[in-house]
Amino acid sequence: MRLSKFIPLSAVMVIVSAFAVAQEAQTAPTIKHVPIARSSPISGKEMYKSYCAVCHGTDATGEGPAASALKLPPTNLTQLAKNNGGQYPSAHVAAVIRGQADLAAHGSKDMPVWGPLFSSISNGHEAEVQQRIANLVEYIGTLQSK
C-alpha cells in the first residue's frame, strides 16, 4: 500500500523536475556564432553597430542584447576615458580590437578578436584592416561620457 502511494508521487516529482529543467533551458540566453558580415571600412559607427553593439549595446554601456549570455559582462565603453585619468586610451582600444591586449573577454569563445576577422573580410588587405580598426577606435572615442 505504501509503495503504491510512493510511485505516483515519484512520477510527479520527476515530471516537475523535468519541466523546471526544460523551462530553465528555454530562458537561458545563448550566443549564436554567425559568419562576420562585411560593413564599410570607412564608417566606425556602422562597424560598431554591426560588430560591437550586440554585446556592448547601441549606447556602449555594456548592456547589448547578448550581454546576459556572456560569462563576463561587456565593458562599458563610455567609461574608458574616465577610467584612464580622463584620457581616451586609443592605443589600448586598438590593441584590444586587434587581439594584442590581454583582456579576458576578447579572444574567448564569447568575444571574438576582430583583427583576424577584419582581415578575412578585407581579403587580407592590411591597409583596409588598419582603416577599419582606426575608424572603429575613433568612433568609440566619440562615445566617451563627458
Asked if 127 contacts 137 with a C-beta cutoff of 8 angstroms, the reply is no
Question: Helices (DSSP H) in 28-125: which residue ranges?
Answer: 44-47, 53-56, 90-98, 114-121
Residue 10 has what pLDDT?
46
Spatial separation of the C-alpha atoms in residues 123 and 142, rounded to whole Å = 28
Task: Tell me the mean pLDDT per 10 residues along the chain, length 146.
Answer: 48 49 54 74 95 94 91 93 97 90 57 81 91 97 94
What local confidence, expressed as pLDDT, does residue 84 receive? Answer: 96
pLDDT of residue 137: 97
Residue 39: per-residue pLDDT: 87
